[in-house]
Amino acid sequence: MILLRLSPSHSQYPNTVSHCNSSKVGRLVGMVCTSDMEQKQKEPFREASEEVSREFKTLIDSQHLDSLKQMQNLILGRLQDSNAVLSHFNEYSENCFAEVSGDFSRNTKVLKSMKTDLDYVFLKLRSMKSRILSTYPDAFPNDLERRVLDCRPDLETPH
């Protein structure tokens, strides 16, 4: 037989002391005792933290704390407004992109085909120029004269 006593504060109740053979009750009482011990261990920490908070309250003026809270709430409101504006802008941008994405892809295809066509035209012009130069060497001005006559940038060479 095991004699169990739950806690000293419950000794005024007659049913707190009992004789029992059950191991379940023993485990229950062990858990109750462990939680009482944990509370007793936590109490000094709680008292210390309350003392520290009281000391901090004396160090800082309550008006300053109120003004800090007010500023933080103001900043929070501004950030929430900014987030709302950015969300709206993102939705608007997404809708605009959906509207013009077809045009972009179509225009991109047109530009690529135009580049291919222009490359072909320039290739033909170069070959014609080389044939003319082979037949008539003086038909085109030399490099020095060409630079003076033609001041346009060369679009074929990368910069």
Residue 144 lies in a domain: no
d(CA 159, CA 111): 21
Print the domain residue range for 121: 73-135
Residues of the chain where predicted confidence (pLDDT) is lower than 50? 1-22, 25, 28-29, 32
Domains held by the chain: number: 2
Residue 84: what are its φ and ψ, rounded to 5°?
-65, -45
Q: Are residues 2 and 44 in the same domain?
A: yes
Residue 90 lies in a domain: yes
Residue 140 lies in a domain: no
Q: Are residues 26 and 78 in the same domain?
A: no
Task: Measure Cα distances from 126 to 22, 48, 113, 129 in Å.
Answer: 106, 91, 20, 5
Q: Are residues 86 and 39 in the same domain?
A: no
Residue 141 lies in a domain: no
d(CA 25, CA 36): 16
Q: Residue 63: its pLDDT value, please?
A: 87
Q: Are residues 83 and 131 in the same domain?
A: yes
Q: Are residues 125 and 97 in the same domain?
A: yes
Q: Is 0.85 topped by the overall pTM?
A: no
d(CA 88, CA 21): 70
Assigned token pair, 95 = 């809708």
Summarised one tens digit per residue, pLDDT across range 5-43 is 444 444 444 444 444 444 554 554 455 455 676 777 888
Task: Measure Cα distances from 27 to 6, 24, 36, 90, 147 in Å.
Answer: 12, 5, 14, 60, 102
Residue 68 lies in a domain: no
Residue 80 lies in a domain: yes
Residue 127 lies in a domain: yes
